[in-house]
Amino acid sequence: MEHSDLVKRESEGKLMVGIDRAFARKFYTDHSIRDIAELTGESPYLEKLIVNMCLFGGPIALIMAGGFAIRLFEWWAVLAIPGLGAFWVMTYALSSRGNSGVGLLSTMLAGSIFGLWFKPVLSDYVPLTTTFLASLWLTRMLYVCSGFFLRAFVIRNRRAFDHLADRILIREL
């Protein structure tokens, strides 16, 4: 299929363009801006910045959650931290799936951030909960943003479409 035909039919709603999230994440994390620019003639600085912020922000927030767990649970954190890590790894593994949404995590994170204002009234668990939910949310957003950005990139850039044609999923509607 030609790129112009794809763009036209996609804008008319006659077909759906998709990109595998795991491939999209690898595209933005494994290639430098210079490599992408040579390949496509375009430098997606903002997209790569956002993907890298999610890539590094998730583990940093998880480490912060571990610090809050140590402060809150003291020696019992020996049990809590592996649980947090295991849940984070499970979320990371499931995030590359196309049906993994961000709605529930976003709502929980927003509620937890809102709870930070009422921390004295609620409990000391709120900072732990907020940083842990932020780590899960950033991990999920790593894949969601990567897929969204690469899909948009392929639709607007013919050279990207030509180079990644075998990785593009097209479904007639």
Residue where the block lists tokens 């961000």: 102
Is the pLDDT at 42 greater than 70, yes or no? yes
CB of 72 within 8 A of CB of 129?
A: no
CB of 97 within 8 A of CB of 24?
A: no
CB of 130 within 8 A of CB of 112?
A: yes
Is the pLDDT at 120 greater than 70, yes or no? no
* pLDDT of amino acid 130: 93
- CB-based contacts of 48: which residues, under 8 Å, 6+ apart? 28, 33, 36
Using DSSP, how many helices (H) and how many strands (E) does the chain show? 8, 2
CB of 105 within 8 A of CB of 54?
A: no
Q: Which domain holds residue 33?
A: 3-172
Half-sphere exposure of 40 (CA within 13 A, CB side): 24
Domain count, the chain: 1
pTM above 0.85, yes or no: yes
Distance CA 65, CA 79 (A): 14
* pLDDT of amino acid 119: 64
List, for residues 127-167, the tens digit of each pLDDT value: 899 999 999 999 999 999 999 999 999 999 999 999 998 98
